[in-house]
A and B are shown apart, each in its own frame.
Chain A
Amino acid sequence: MNKVELAYFGLCSLIALLGAVVTVGAKNPIRGAMGLLSTIIGIAGLYLMLAAEFLAAIQLLVYAGAVVILFLFVIMLLGPSAQSKRDARGAVARYVGAAALLVSGLGAMALVMRTKSVTPTALPAVPPQFGTIESIGHELFSTALVPFELSGALLLVAVIGAVAVARGKQVDPTLLPAADAKSSQTSAPTAGQTKEARS
């Protein structure tokens, strides 16, 4: 990796990581969505560096172009209620969890760094037409035909699942016992209670 590549890698990673931090940490959901957008753009930049131009373009089109816009629509439809209230419950647990994750991440990184030269030689060299639409199409319909077909099943199940969840009835909160939503740990509903809303 020469110096220009290294600088480009650092820039893209920085954009992606900062965006991720903003996504997780922002109180304002719009700001969170914008953070997600920046993460996606940073990752698209990294794909470019890996000679995966098609993937980078798709990343921008689908994620930045469609998914984030969809998020923004939903946030705007929800209006002010999309803003989460300050929630002090479980704050300690959250910080402990974040710290544990950080420590284990750093530990793994240290483990990898300690064994100095991680040789990238295991990976085969990239052919010149790698990452173009033609070569991806060729790959999809020859070597990777089976996973390609399997992803059909994945998409189908996702569509049916979306229909199944969307077709269900809406919740009528007046019919729910107040305890039901919160303390599923302790409350054991008995047969007589109509614990579920059946409006």
Chain B
Amino acid sequence: MNSGLFLGLSPLLVVSLGGLLLMVAEAFSKRRVDETSDDRDAGPSSELSLGTAVTLLAGAVFAAAIWFVGPEKLEGASSVAPWVIVDRFTLFFSFVLCLGGALAALLAGGYLPEHRLDRGEFYPLIIFSTVGAMILASAGDLLSLFLGLETMSLGVYAMVGFRRASLRSTEAAVKYFLLGSFAAALLLYGGALLYGATGHTDLAGIREAIANMQPGKGSNFALVITAAVLIIVGLAFKVSAVPFHMWTPDAYEGAPTPTTTYMAVAVKCAAFATMLRVLIGAFGEGGLESWAAGWPPVVALLAVLTMTVANLVAGQQESVKRMLAYSSIAHAGYVLVGVVATMRAGGDAQGSVMFYLLTYTVSTVGAFGALILMGSRGAEAVSYEDLAGVGKRHPAAGFAFSLFLLSLAGVPPTAGFFGKLYIVKASIGAGLYPLAIILLLNSVISAYYYLRVMVYMYMREPAPGAPIAKPMRSGYVATALVVAGVLVLVLGLWPTTSLQIAVEAALATR
């Protein structure tokens, strides 16, 4: 039959199939949660975590393989377009999403048994949320875009509320669920208006219809603008841009940390992939891409607000997890600067955005993973005080945390440095000097709260009688940290190859 089609869809198919198999394996497995037992290897995590990571990595490997074959050579893969578009852009994001998901699954393998949450459902949720995220990144039609968004979000809502015994986790889940559904409804409303105005649901058709539209009396241009506003708001919710970020700190703090990692990494990357596809694919012509009458000033305003507010608030947090939540909002702001730059600087700027998302993925997984590693049963490391002196008592864990924090702060030779550098370069290339300056100022502010963690780890001693964080022992978390750490260093020392790949992927959407 049509082998090109199956090969083209193989990252999606492999991950879905692996997820189904793991579900069956879990159902027949003898391993069950025993709340009273102290044996951390008795639960389902011990086999599912690795299985999930392998499944997702297989998806990433398939995506990489198709990249080398060349997606344009696959005959028949275009027959599923525009529902699912198989191009280099899709493959790049499939790779990043699978990588983020796999690392989050490894973190869960250590975290869930440690904190008595060891229930097998977590892993299928990660896998199928990733499937949704991959659909989202590859969708060329508003219908499949919405389906992907909902698939991803529903899984994540359940993962946020996974710690049912905690009111805070439930509160986080309800908050995220309500606001997320509201955002999805706005997006859907925007899509419906767009269909009414243009007669198309596929992004290419919408772009063409908008390009042929004459602004002024008797045209549907007003309807298009209304739709564009609704869609941008819906996507801004998902990437948690200020002022649509209210849910983020609570949801990130209340969720189990592997879920937080997954949200910060995969959900955000997929939302940015959609944002790029929609803003450039659908709203890239007909005046909507201009600085005078289009989306760039709106997105630029969002970017400035997001960076500034998030960094100022992050510095005041007493909880490291909450600080990392605000830091992820701030990073969304940096990416938005790159998104604005794409309308003038083109493929290079879009490549820098995608490269940034890759570096952000590995650094964030590492930072949350190190925070997971610092805590153990009954003593989860949350606040700055919990971390006092950890760097001296447990040098390896302290070193790992420091490395990822430096990468998030953008210090060379880590991946985060080049991520920021290329975004700044792209925005200067696009003539957006104020945005570049605000970005640089903000990364100076951000250094304060990242370094504060290191100050606590290395230069403070815990107050007498204060609770002391005991790092957990988990091969899964350690593996995830080593993989993320190596990637942070490799991307930081040899960034050009991956940047070229990102630019090549970006050109596929233009």
A119 on the interface (CB 8 Å rule)? yes
A162 CB contacts on chain B under 8 angstroms: 158
**Cβ contacts B357-401/A at 8 Å (1 or 0 each):** 000000000000000000100111111011000000000000000
B157 on the interface (CB 8 Å rule)? yes
Task: Indicate if the CB atoms of A154 and B375 lie closer than 8 Å.
Answer: no
Task: Indicate if the CB atoms of B380 and A150 lie closer than 8 Å.
Answer: no
Interface size class of B (residues with CB under 8 A): 35 or more
B225 on the interface (CB 8 Å rule)? yes
B94 on the interface (CB 8 Å rule)? no
Chain B: minimal CB distance from A104 (Å): 9
Q: Which one of A20-28, A39-47, A188-196 is at the B interface?
A: A188-196
B: residues with CB less than 8 A from A are 16, 23, 80, 83-84, 116, 119, 121-122, 124-125, 128-129, 131-132, 135, 141, 143-144, 147-148, 150-151, 154-155, 157-159, 161-171, 173, 196-199, 209, 216-223, 225-226, 229, 250, 253-254, 317-319, 322, 375, 378-383, 385-386, 466-469
- Which single residue of chain B is at the shortest CB-CB distance from A112? B222
Beyond A147-B144, A196-B166, list 20 extra A-B contacts (CB 8 Å): A108-B226, A115-B217, A120-B196, A123-B199, A124-B199, A147-B141, A153-B16, A153-B151, A154-B154, A160-B155, A164-B119, A171-B167, A171-B170, A180-B167, A181-B167, A184-B168, A184-B254, A189-B319, A196-B165, A197-B166
A156, B217: Cα distance in complex, Å: 47
The CB with the most chain B CB atoms within 10 A, among A108, A114, A180, A190, is that of A190
Q: Which of B128, B165, B469 contacts A198 (CB 8 A)?
A: B165
Q: Is the contact region of chain B dominated by helix, strand, or loop, or is it mixed?
A: helix
Q: Which of B154, B173, B196, B223 contacts A157 (CB 8 A)?
A: B154
Task: Indicate if the CB atoms of A191 and B380 lie closer than 8 Å.
Answer: yes
A117 on the interface (CB 8 Å rule)? yes
Tell me the total A-B contact number using a CB cutoff of 8 A. 175
B222 CB contacts on chain A under 8 angstroms: 111-112, 114-115, 118
Task: Indicate if the CB atoms of B198 and A192 lie closer than 8 Å.
Answer: no
Q: Which of B128, B221, B468 contacts A153 (CB 8 A)?
A: B128
- Which single residue of chain A is at the shortest CB-CB distance from B318? A188
- Which single residue of chain B is at the shortest CB-CB distance from A181? B167
Q: Which of B80, B170, B196, B254 contacts A123 (CB 8 A)?
A: B196
**In A136-156, which residues have CB < 8 Å from any B CB?**
144, 146-147, 150-151, 153-154, 156
Q: Which of A118, A189, A193 contacts B223 (CB 8 A)?
A: A118
A147, B124: Cα distance in complex, Å: 21
Given A123-B199, A161-B157, A167-B119: A197 and B132 within 8 A (CB)? no
